Amino acid sequence: MSTIDSSMGRYSLKANNSGNHIRGSIAINDEGGSPLTLQEFDEHYLDDVINNVIYPVTGGNRIITNAFRDEMLKAGFNQPH
């Protein structure tokens, strides 16, 4: 089981992988760190989390999206082939 609790700029990502599901949330925070919006997700694959959740929530910011993907890979999340 892989888990991540990471923040980048105004975005924070919390997720865990329980075998065949990745469950978690991504939030956009205010300057004080309190969530302004929170998007929960339950996806099967890492690429679905990246493309369907993180990329749209960050407003299409590829740098932050790719950085979160790298962090998830380091934390043990993987994309089955």
Query: What local confidence, expressed as pLDDT, does residue 46 receive?
Result: 94
Structural domain boundaries in the chain:
2-74
pLDDT in tens, 14-62: 999 987 899 999 999 999 888 899 999 999 999 999 999 999 999 999 9
Whether the predicted pLDDT of 80 surpasses 90? no
Long-range contacts of 73-78 (CB under 8 A, 24+ apart): 73/46, 75/2, 75/3, 75/4, 76/2, 76/17, 77/2, 77/4, 77/15, 77/17, 77/22, 77/46, 78/46
- Evaluate if residue 81 carries a pLDDT over 70: no
User: Residue 1: its pLDDT value, please?
Assistant: 80
pLDDT number for residue 17 = 92
